[in-house]
């Protein structure tokens, strides 16, 4: 035997679902407009990096943003000429930090700092292995 409440709500359910989608869509649209407008007002901006030993500090005055990370706390790093992707663990899938540099020398300074740590550093291969094209 089916309870009466389920029978009563069955024809109303698609209308409620549609209303929730419309309401949530309007709320998400308003939220995204506010966030994009706030971010657009602060653009363009630059992130300034300072490397002291194995401690990397990133600051952005426009965002009042200041992050400090000890490079010894990461498990692996994937490097390219002007890019370093830091992973929390050696087999992590999601990057913990993505560092983009203006010059190769800046990126190489961070790679050199990583050399004295237990972080596994792997460069991006010049060519993809067979079967990855």
> pLDDT per residue over 56-79, tens digit each?
898 888 778 888 989 888 888 888
Query: Cis link prior to 44 (omega < 30° from 0)?
Result: yes
pLDDT higher than threshold 70 for residue 8 = no
pLDDT tier for residue 12 given thresholds of 50, 70 and 90: low
List the CATH code of the domain at 48-123: 2.30.29
Tokens of 23: 């309401």
pTM of the model: 0.61
**Distance set, CA 111 to CA 85, 106, 124 (Å):** 11, 9, 13
Asked whether 86 and 96 are in contact (CB, 8 A), the reply is yes
Tokens of 133: 């094209």
**From CA 46, how far away is CA 102, in angstroms rounded?**
11
Tokens of 132: 């990855």
* pLDDT value for 7: 47
């Amino acid at each position: 035997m089916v309870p009466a409440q389920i029978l009563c709500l069955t024809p109303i359910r698609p209308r409620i679902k549609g209303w929730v989608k419309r309401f949530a869509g309007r709320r998400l649209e308003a939220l995204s407009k506010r966030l994009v407008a706030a971010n657009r007002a602060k653009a363009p901006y630059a992130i300034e990096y300072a490397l002291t030993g194995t401690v990397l500090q990133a600051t952005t005055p426009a965002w009042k943003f200041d992050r400090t990370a000890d490079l010894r706390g990461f498990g692996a790093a994937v490097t390219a000429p002007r890019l370093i992707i830091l992973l929390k663990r050696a087999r992590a899938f999601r990057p913990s930090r993505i560092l983009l540099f203006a010059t190769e020398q800046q990126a190489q300074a961070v790679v050199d700092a990583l050399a004295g740590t237990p972080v596994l550093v792997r460069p991006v291969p010049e060519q993809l292995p067979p079967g990855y094209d």
